[in-house]
Amino acid sequence: MVYETGNRTVDEAVARVLDGERLDRRDGLALIAQSVDALAAGADYVRTRLGDDTVDACSIVNAKAGDCAEDCGFCAQSVHFDTGIDTYGFLGPEKILEAAKRAERDGAQRFGIVVAEKGVSKERRPEEWNEVLEAIRLVRDETDVEVDASLGILTEEEAAVLADEGLNHYNHNIETSPRYFPEVVQTHTFEKRVETLRVAKEAGMDLCAGVILGMGESPTDRVDAAMALQDIGISSLPVNILNPVAGTPMAEQGLPDITTEEVVKTIAVYRLLHPEARVRLTGGREVNLDTDGQVAALEAGADGILTGDYLTTEGQSAADDLEIVAEAGLEPNTEANDFDPEAVKERASDDAQTETETAAGTAQSNAELKSDD
């Protein structure tokens, strides 16, 4: 053993991971019961041994907002809930390209086109489908970022077309464990989500699939979600933290806030269960974690972030993200998009920047309501 935390459970898990062994559910449950300090140290060591000491930034655009027929209890875009967000149809290829170029300037390595609905359908809405394909081509050909997309449920034919167009990652989060999923979503099943991930992977796309923490799930659910993702086989694991939006069931339930320790422990366990994946700190991090908490997550094995705005809430600036990455002793990834971090920081104070107008910032979270009191 070349590295020891002093915690036997963690140390043995680290040794097995570095020997190429895949940890199982029993290991995950044992690990999540350990101290946060030992877990963070062990997970960070695995990251340093198997990773590249960089943090990979992705960015997204809400390409079609609201009026989604699904009833995901955390989502401001469901037609079932009155959240007051801005709604609109597909933005169009040029607007998508504009957002991608902004992400490119801000240091994103990948750019995700996100459509809020059960699935963009080649058969039922061919015009919209063709616009999505045109947007993918524009971003692919006119920027240095890798193109990702989250378009809902896919058929095998649709997945094959997207792969042929050069789509890099397909994002389709599982949100939580198979057991807890029905507590969050009733209009479709966990298995349906897994099937789309399988279809996308078989078509040749890498998978970006993750979870939302803080929805009332147990630590066991968090482990079981990671095990489900292990069975699927992913290359990017986004870890969102619930930022309850007023008008959604998750906001009205009065769920207890998740602690920084819980978030950091979960990220560390995910690093050990998914040693080769990018474990990505994403939505809700600014609301639930202060700067030290975000740094702690990066020091516990996370090596990816989602920078900029989210779908209906505002995010953290790219300049602030670069400061957090530096504070964690890491470097921004520049493999796909070789950007200048200093230029990003300098632009942060330029109020003349133009942004693509989307639904980001039109939802009001519980945290914002509390701050108004």
Q: Kindly state whether residue 313 falls inside one of the protein's structural domains.
A: yes
Residue 166 CA to residue 162 CA, distance in Å, equals 7
Which pLDDT score is estimated for 353?
Answer: 47
As given in the structure block, the two tokens for residue 325 are 């990455």
- Ranking 1-10, 56-65, 96-105, 316-325 by mean pLDDT, the lowest is 1-10
Give residue 181's pLDDT: 97
Structural element, H or E, at residue 204: none
Q: Which two tokens stand for residue 79?
A: 């037609």
21 within domain boundaries: no
| CATH for 256 | 3.20.20.70
Confidence band, pLDDT 50/70/90 cuts, at residue 108: very high
What pLDDT score does 116 carry? 77
- Check residue 2 and give its pLDDT: 60
- Alpha carbons 125 and 103: distance in angstroms, whole number: 28
**Which helix (H) or strand (E) element contains residue 313?**
none
Concatenate the DSSP letters of all residues of 57-92 into one string: EEEEEEEEBS-BS---TT-TTBTTS------BS---
Which residues lie across from 206 on neighbouring strands?
Answer: 169
Q: How much is the pLDDT for 354? A: 46
Residue 31: inside a domain: no
Is 300 part of a structural domain of the chain?
yes
Residue 367 has pLDDT above 90, yes or no: no
Residue 102 lies in a domain: yes
Domain count of the chain?
1
Is the separation of the CB atoms in 177 and 221 below 8 Å? yes
Q: Tell me if 368 is assigned to some domain.
A: no
pLDDT in tens, 225-272: 999 999 999 999 999 999 988 888 998 888 889 999 999 999 999 999
C-beta of residue 358 within 8 angstroms of C-beta of residue 66: no
Give the Cα separation of 184 and 178 in Å (integer): 11
User: Which two tokens mark 270?
Assistant: 């995910």
pTM of the entire structure? 0.93
Q: Is a pLDDT exceeding 60 seen at residue 138?
A: yes
Task: Fill in the amino acid letter for 195.
Answer: E
Q: Where are the beta strands (DSSP E) in 139-296?
A: 146-150, 169-171, 206-208, 211-213, 236-241, 278-281
Tokens for 18, please give them: 């570095």
Q: Which range of residues forms the domain containing residue 340?
A: 52-349
pLDDT tens digits, 268-321:
999 999 999 999 999 999 999 999 999 999 999 999 999 988 777 778 899 999
Mean pLDDT of 134-139: 97
Q: For residue 81, what pLDDT band results from cuts at 50, 70 and 90? A: confident
Residue at 162 is within a domain: yes
Concatenate the DSSP letters of all residues of 205-216 into one string: -EEE--EEE-SS
pLDDT for the residue numbered 362: 56
Report the candidate in 288, 312, 70 with the shortest Cα–Cα distance to residue 192: 70
Higher pLDDT, 80 or 214: 214
251 in a domain, yes or no?
Answer: yes
Burial category of 71 from C-beta neighbours within 10 Å (exposed 0-12, middle 13-18, buried 19 and up): middle
